[in-house]
């Protein structure tokens, strides 16, 4: 029994596995599984057997063109077939695949058979619009069943989806759309958020003035808000109208293991957002295996991932992982504290959620309300909890463990990235846990913490997180930018390793403690926000000559933005201008860009080559030693 919530005590505390979970666990011995994973190719090949292949692979891993690795070469497979079609010939046919609920109390259930037919109709409709294998289809949608259907429909016919998070606003949306150059966009009228309807179509209308590749926009009537549809024939069409009369059978496209599956944008430290490309078979194997092993998915589970589908967490573990395992996935549209901060616990009780996967920011937000809300509800259906996106501080871990897990559900703190596609560092239900660390690399994954020369750092010292061997769900490249792919991830540290961009320490048990990003990427409420994107948004305001931004610690969101701006002549940073700048940045980037402070400065620290030295701003902010300033322009 845990007695103290004191941070240091808990950091040292080890939590033993719950014996009831060990009994039913797919993997009962963590160490033995890690040992098994050392024969990496054999390990992943065995896992690949869980799927139906149209043609088996010749080679598990092709390393002939590093770092452009290939997995399961010459295999032929289809994701939608394995996630949906496969189940309709089993006793899962009439089981609920997607359980949709929203903050207004509406709900919708789609069985595997119903999902199968909807996916086929949409797949046929996309084909009729001229979409072919390899074409890109963009999506900008709320958390609604039609988004999952559209993504699966793309898989079914071999199209590549590019989902843009619906919390991103006009500027960020336009940039991602123009980069992907899709001809089709699937969107919706609006989305529900805290009792209001956010007009998504209005954002799309504005964005379309600057996106010239889109020929057809498909609009789902979801929130019922009034919208304007283009009069031009074929330009904009309602989803329901498009699907009318479409047959509910559609032939499946046999995809090569390495055929592109989707692109997903994520922010980097410099320049435009990175279009991370994932391919078919390896991604399926990695995602399904990790979900099954870490969250111990069994028949009868009700899986709830609270992340948004617009991010990798939603792609891998809200849609693909659970459906590939034939489980029921809950899709919830709404905020965690509306109509009150008990809503999540009410949903857990109402539907009997068994596995809940969420984020440290959400937990820190909800724990501010104490245990008043969770105690009202019966949370006994919960068996395993999980977290992703940022370091889970021990206080949040303990709150979740005590108040939600009632000291019997282990917490799977999973470390991974858009680029890794799947969980990379994580405990299993049978692991000994320490609050604040994702523990050890997943079996079959080789990760270390090293110095800049690639040598492992001693216990307790800071180093870079690197992945030393390829893993199946790894991204294959940055879409249309192989040079950046090689330069950003595979060059800095010797030894041909993947540099994740995070700093970490290892403890005496080898457990990895993530310290945060080592580059200029902010983690705001678990979302990756590139400093250069925010700076560009500031600089596009007429009053701003130049801007630099850094992350400032925030007790709930992890980090928020602190901006240093140089104003053009004649401007002063008045309260009015501050609120105007806030609105402007929010308009460009959306609510992910949470602004803390904006301060006016006369100059910014720069290198002689003109790059802003954000680390100097950070050090000044934290009152730390400024480090090596030899490249600073004016000392
Ligand atoms: O800094 C790490 C942090 O999130 C980054 C990846 O962000 P993104 O690509 O948006 O994917 C988030 C969802 C997979 C990582 O480089 N991060 C993710 N999980 C953890 C974490 N930091 C600490 N602990 C975690 N469990």
Concatenated DSSP letters for 444-459?
A: T--EEEE-TTSPBPPT
d(CA 149, CA 115): 7
- Test site for ligand 1: of 415, 467, 474, 498, most ligand atoms within 8 A of the Cβ: 415
Assess whether the C-beta atom of 388 lies below 6 angstroms from ligand 1.
yes
**Residue 634: CB partners within 8 Å, gap ≥ 6?**
none
% of the chain residues with pLDDT over 90? 90
Exposed / middle / buried, residue 220 (Cβ in 10 Å: 0-12, 13-18, 19+):
buried
CA-proximal residue: ligand 1, atom 13 (nearest): 389
The closest-lying atom of ligand 1 relative to the alpha carbon of residue 527 is 10
CA-proximal residue: ligand 1, atom 4 (nearest): 389
User: Rounded to the nearest whole angstrom, what is the distance from the C-alpha of residue 391 to the centroid of ligand 1?
Assistant: 8
Full-model pTM: 0.94
Give the model confidence (pLDDT) of 448-496 as tens digits.
Answer: 999 999 999 999 999 999 999 999 999 999 999 999 999 999 999 999 9
Structure tokens at 141: 């949608």
Assess whether the C-beta atom of 312 lies below 6 angstroms from ligand 1.
yes
CA-proximal residue: ligand 1, atom 2 (nearest): 390
Give the model confidence (pLDDT) of 109-159 as tens digits.
Answer: 999 999 999 999 999 999 999 999 999 999 999 999 999 999 999 999 999
Domain residues of the chain, as ranges? 521-602
Assess whether the C-beta atom of 308 lies below 6 angstroms from ligand 1.
no
Q: Once rounded to an integer, what is the mean pLDDT over residues 76-97?
A: 98
CA-proximal residue: ligand 1, atom 6 (nearest): 417
Q: What is the dihedral of CA 542, 616, 500, 17, to 10 degrees?
A: -110
Q: What is the pLDDT of residue 247?
A: 98
Given a contact cutoff of 8 angstroms between Cβ atoms, the answer to whether 360 and 218 are in contact is no
User: Rounded to the nearest whole angstrom, what is the distance from the C-alpha of residue 67 to the centroid of ligand 1?
Assistant: 22
The SS3 assignment for 313 reads helix
Q: Once rounded to an integer, what is the mean pLDDT over residues 495-513?
A: 97
CA-proximal residue: ligand 1, atom 22 (nearest): 390
Q: Which CATH number fits domain 521-602: 3.40.50.720, 3.30.310.10, 3.30.565.10, 3.30.300.30?
A: 3.30.300.30
Give the distance from CA 493 to its chain's centroid: 25
Residue 627 has pLDDT above 70, yes or no: no
Assess whether the C-beta atom of 314 lies below 6 angstroms from ligand 1.
no
Assess whether the C-beta atom of 420 lies below 6 angstroms from ligand 1.
no
Task: Band the pLDDT of 610: cuts 50, 70, 90.
Answer: confident
Give the model confidence (pLDDT) of 16-49 as tens digits.
Answer: 999 999 999 999 999 999 999 999 999 999 999 9
User: Rounded to the nearest whole angstrom, what is the distance from the C-alpha of residue 583 to the centroid of ligand 1?
Assistant: 28
The SS3 assignment for 7 reads helix
Tell me the backbone φ, ψ of residue 337, rounded to 5 degrees: -125, 20
User: Rounded to the nearest whole angstrom, what is the distance from the C-alpha of residue 500 to the centroid of ligand 1?
Assistant: 10
Query: 490-523 burial string, b = 16+ CB within 10 Å, else e?
Result: eeebeeebbbbbbbbbbeeeebbbbebbbbbbbb
CA-proximal residue: ligand 1, atom 21 (nearest): 390
- Test site for ligand 1: of 287, 307, 361, 389, most ligand atoms within 8 A of the Cβ: 389
Assess whether the C-beta atom of 99 lies below 6 angstroms from ligand 1.
no
d(CA 181, CA 174): 10
Residue 390 has pLDDT above 90, yes or no: yes
Assess whether the C-beta atom of 415 lies below 6 angstroms from ligand 1.
yes
Residue 635 has pLDDT above 60, yes or no: no
The closest-lying atom of ligand 1 relative to the alpha carbon of residue 521 is 1
Tell me the backbone φ, ψ of residue 168, rounded to 5 degrees: -85, 145
Assess whether the C-beta atom of 530 lies below 6 angstroms from ligand 1.
no
Assess whether the C-beta atom of 266 lies below 6 angstroms from ligand 1.
yes
CA-proximal residue: ligand 1, atom 8 (nearest): 417
Assess whether the C-beta atom of 389 lies below 6 angstroms from ligand 1.
yes
Assess whether the C-beta atom of 493 lies below 6 angstroms from ligand 1.
no
Q: What is the pLDDT of residue 6?
A: 41
Task: Band the pLDDT of 317: cuts 50, 70, 90.
Answer: very high
Consecutive H or E run containing 598: strand 595-600
């Amino acid at each position: 029994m845990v007695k103290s919530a004191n941070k240091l005590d808990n950091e040292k505390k080890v939590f033993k596995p719950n014996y009831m979970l060990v009994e039913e666990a797919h993997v009962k011995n963590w160490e033995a599984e890690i040992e098994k994973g050392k024969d990496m190719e054999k390990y992943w090949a065995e896992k690949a057997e869980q799927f139906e292949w149209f043609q088996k692979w010749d080679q598990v891993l092709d390393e002939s063109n590093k770092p452009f690795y290939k997995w399961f070469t010459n295999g032929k497979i289809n994701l939608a077939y394995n996630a949906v079609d496969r189940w309709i010939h089993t006793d899962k046919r009439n089981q609920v695949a997607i359980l949709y609920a929203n903050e207004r109390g509406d709900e919708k259930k789609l069985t595997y058979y119903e999902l199968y037919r909807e996916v086929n109709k949409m797949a046929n409709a996309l084909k009729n619009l001229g979409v072919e294998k390899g074409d890109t289809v963009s999506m900008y949608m709320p958390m609604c069943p039609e988004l999952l259907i559209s993504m699966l429909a793309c898989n079914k016919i071999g199209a590549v989806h590019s989902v843009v998070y619906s919390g991103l606003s006009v500027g960020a949306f336009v940039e991602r759309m123009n980069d992907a150059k899709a001809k089709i966009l699937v969107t919706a009228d609006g989305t529900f958020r805290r009792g209001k309807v956010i007009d998504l179509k209005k954002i799309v209308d504005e964005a379309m003035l600057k996106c010239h590749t889109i020929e057809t926009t498909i609009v789902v009537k979801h929130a019922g808000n009034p919208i304007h549809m283009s009069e031009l024939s074929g330009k904009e069409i309602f989803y329901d109208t498009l699907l009318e009369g479409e047959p509910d059978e559609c032939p499946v496209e046999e995809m090569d293991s390495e055929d592109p599956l989707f692109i997903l944008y994520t922010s980097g430290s410099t320049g435009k957002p990175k279009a991370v490309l994932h391919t078919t078979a390896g991604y399926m194997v990695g995602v399904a295996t990790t979900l099954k092993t870490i969250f111990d998915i069994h028949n009868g589970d009700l899986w709830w991932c609270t992340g948004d589908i617009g991010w990798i967490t939603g792609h891998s573990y809200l849609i693909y992982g659970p459906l590939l395992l034939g489980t029921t996935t809950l899709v919830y549209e709404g905020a965690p504290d509306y109509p009150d901060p008990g809503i999540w616990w009410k949903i857990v009780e109402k539907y009997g959620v068994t596995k809940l996967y969420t984020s440290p920011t959400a937990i820190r937000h909800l724990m501010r309300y104490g245990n008043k809300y969770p105690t009202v509800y019966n949370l006994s259906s919960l068996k395993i909890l999980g977290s992703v996106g940022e370091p889970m501080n021990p206080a949040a871990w303990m709150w979740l463990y005590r108040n939600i897990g009632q000291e019997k559900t282990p917490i799977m703190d999973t470390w991974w990235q858009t680029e890794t596609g799947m969980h990379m560092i994580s405990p299993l239900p049978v692991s000994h846990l320490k609050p604040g660390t994702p523990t050890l690399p997943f079996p079959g994954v080789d990760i270390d913490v090293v110095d800049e020369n690639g040598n492992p750092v001693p216990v307790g010292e800071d180093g870079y997180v690197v992945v030393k061997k390829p893993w199946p769900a790894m991204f294959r490249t940055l879409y249309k930018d192989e040079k950046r792919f090689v330069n950003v991830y595979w060059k800095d540290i010797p030894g041909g390793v993947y540099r994740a961009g995070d700093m970490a320490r290892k403890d005496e048990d080898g457990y990895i403690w993530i310290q945060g990003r080592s580059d200029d990427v902010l983690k705001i409420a678990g979302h990756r926000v590139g400093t250069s994107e925010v700076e560009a948004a500031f600089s596009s305001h007429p009053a701003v000559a130049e801007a630099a931004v850094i992350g400032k610690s925030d007790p709930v969101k992890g980090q928020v933005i602190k901006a240093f701006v140089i104003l053009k002549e004649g401007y002063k940073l008045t309260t009015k201008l501050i609120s105007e700048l806030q609105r402007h940045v929010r308009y460009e980037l959306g609510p992910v860009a949470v602004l803390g402070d904006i301060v006016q400065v006369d100059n910014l620290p720069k290198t002689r080559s003109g790059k802003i030295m954000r680390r100097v701003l950070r050090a000044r902010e934290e009152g730390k030693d400024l480090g090596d300033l030899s490249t600073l322009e004016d000392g």
